[in-house]
Amino acid sequence: MKRTVALYPAPGMSHLITMVELGKLIHLRLHLPVTVLIASPPFNLGDTTPYVKDVESSDLGISFHYLPQPFDFSPQDHNAQHHELLVFKFLNACSPHVKDALELISKSSTILATVVDFFCIASVSVAAANLGLPVYVYLISPAGALASLLYFQEQHRQTDLSFRRLNEDLHIPGIPPLPSLDMPPPTLDREETYYCFLEVSSQMSRAHGIIVDTFDALEPRALRAIRNGLCVPNGPTPPVHGIGPVISAWKRAERDDQCLNWLDSQPDCSVVFLCFGSLGRFSVDQLGQIADGLERSGQRFLWVVRGPASGSGPALVSEDPDPDALLPQGFLERTRGKGLVVKSWAPQARVLSHGAVGGFVTHCGWTSVLESVCAGVPMVAWPLYAEQRINRVLLVKELRLAVVIQEGPDGLVGAAEVERCVRLLVDSEEGAALRERAAAARDAAATAMKEGGSSWASLARLGEEWESRASTK
Ligand code: UDP
């Protein structure tokens, strides 16, 4: 019988793309065919169709299995306060189809392992257990965030207070003290989403293994603490495999070339790149402060601008904005030549690895961070949603690859602070020191991914584990 590794990504651009990129590695290095289960939500977390089509049409050993729309995902769920809850509910509604899909695939192939996004674990584990399939969780977050997720159960046991009410440093093994308010926003109150994460935490500690998009030399302390069982003091911790950095050089659109051509005409390490993930958006006030700060800094910049946020939390993806209407009057003319504003999207990984880019103002999404690490670019940490505040603490205090941008009491970052950070990145001794450390991290990342490197070896071990399990069945 044929063999395959089944991957089940969560909806959302970076979740899907990073998992499919892992699939490419599995096929390329372990020579195993990969089947990706695709759940298409009726809400927009970014259009991944062109990417999937590209992979489908190239001969990469990856096939896609599309799950039908679930019947019992109700439109009211669209009003969920946090988009994470929406994702959990949708995935739960998909679980009967996942079961059917795994059964169907098992008829023609031996499924060596199911690798699922951490969002999917609760909705998959029963089906996989019934079929006798080992489940591995894939986390596109740092090992430091994994430590906090595994420790969640212990934290829950220790206090009845929500993270919001606790409002003090958490002492999680393997990472610096973490203000409880820096936990992901949907977990701050003991509401429905908090309990979804608690369930994820408990399911993760029962998985066959945890695959994390990091590498040993980047986060040795967190990985050691987890592997020594310190994050799940009252139970077993599955083996943890650091296989990253997994990043994609996918070319999304022709208009990508606009940014790269512009960068070609800029001096080395002179441009600050500002980009806030697939969902990050700001109010018009905040956009105005950023624009003023950039202008006052006199530095070169490439800025990806999205339509303004309405309400708190990340907005789901929107139409292209009109920068003329959103940014201060005359800003685009006054900064022409020195700065480039692009609408909604830039080819970030390729921008970061362009020699003209000297710094990155980032929302601290982990894929963005890894892309910056791979390019050796120092960062300013401006977290917006998900686990990004944890990532900021790690980036600034543990990895020392970024500085913090300070919000005012009203949550707004003022123009003077934007100016300070932009100057710091490209025109200061502190920026030069950050750049040196970023270059060392870039080299370490390349070593980890090369043959014989730690991430290469982790993936090879996983392959052996999968093969030997299948041969003893
Ligand atoms: N990205 C991009 N261009 C953009 C915005 C995002 O290429 O204008 C890519 C970025 O390179 C990364 C992903 O989208 O690969 C964002 O992933 P991350 O985990 O950083 O953040 P998320 O979008 O999940 O919040």
Atom of ligand 1 nearest to the CA of 388: 25
Residue 89 and residue 192 in one domain: yes
Residue 230 and residue 348 in one domain: no
Residue the block writes with tokens 């009003």: 79
Residue 455 and residue 442 in one domain: no
Q: How many residues can be counted in the chain? A: 473
Residue 57 tokens, joined: 């049409």
Q: Is the shortest distance between the CB of 266 and ligand 1 below 6 Å?
A: no
Burial of 172 (0-12, 13-18, 19+ CB in 10 A): buried
Q: Is the shortest distance between the CB of 348 and ligand 1 below 6 Å?
A: yes
Q: Is the shortest distance between the CB of 381 and ligand 1 below 6 Å?
A: no
Half-sphere exposure of 186 (CA within 13 A, CB side): 22
Residue 184 and residue 57 in one domain: yes
Pairwise CA distance, residues 442 & 451, whole Å: 16
Residue the block writes with tokens 């300013």: 380
CATH number at residue 276: 3.40.50.2000
Pairwise CA distance, residues 14 & 246, whole Å: 11
Phi-psi map region of 85: left, alpha, beta (phi>0 left; psi -120 to 50 alpha): alpha
Residue 267 and residue 400 in one domain: yes
Residues near 172 by beta carbon (within 8 Å), at least 6 away in sequence: 147, 148, 151, 155, 178, 231
Residue 155 and residue 232 in one domain: yes
Pairwise CA distance, residues 5 & 133, whole Å: 10
Q: What is the DSSP letter of 99?
A: H
Residue 438 and residue 461 in one domain: no
Pairwise CA distance, residues 327 & 284, whole Å: 8
Residue 37 and residue 164 in one domain: yes
Residue 418 and residue 460 in one domain: no
Q: Is the shortest distance between the CB of 314 and ligand 1 below 6 Å?
A: no
Residue 131: what are its φ and ψ, rounded to 5°? -90, 0
Residue 317: per-residue pLDDT:
56
Q: Is the shortest distance between the CB of 141 and ligand 1 below 6 Å?
A: no
CA of 276 to the centre of ligand 1 (A): 7
Structural domain for 293, as ranges: 254-446
Residue 226 and residue 357 in one domain: no
pLDDT tens-place values along the chain, 473 residues long: 899 999 999 998 889 999 999 999 999 999 999 999 999 888 777 788 889 999 999 888 899 999 999 877 875 666 677 889 989 999 999 999 999 999 999 999 999 999 999 999 988 888 888 899 999 999 999 999 999 999 999 999 999 999 999 999 999 999 999 999 999 999 999 999 999 999 999 999 999 999 999 999 999 999 999 999 999 999 999 999 999 999 887 766 666 788 999 999 999 999 999 999 988 889 999 999 999 999 999 999 999 998 886 554 444 556 678 888 899 999 999 999 999 999 988 999 999 999 999 999 999 999 999 999 999 999 999 999 999 999 999 999 999 999 999 999 999 999 999 999 999 999 999 999 999 999 999 999 999 999 999 999 999 999 999 999 888 77
Residue 312: per-residue pLDDT:
47
Q: Is the shortest distance between the CB of 19 and ligand 1 below 6 Å?
A: no
Atom of ligand 1 nearest to the CA of 386: 25
Q: What is the CA radius of gyration of the chain?
A: 22
Q: The dihedral of CA 197, 198, 199, 204: what is its sign?
A: positive
Residue 457 tokens, joined: 């070896």
Residue 49 and residue 137 in one domain: yes
Pairwise CA distance, residues 83 & 438, whole Å: 32
| Contact in structure between 392 and 175 (CB atoms under 8 Å) | no
Count of domains for the chain: 2
Pairwise CA distance, residues 169 & 167, whole Å: 7
Residue 129 and residue 73 in one domain: yes
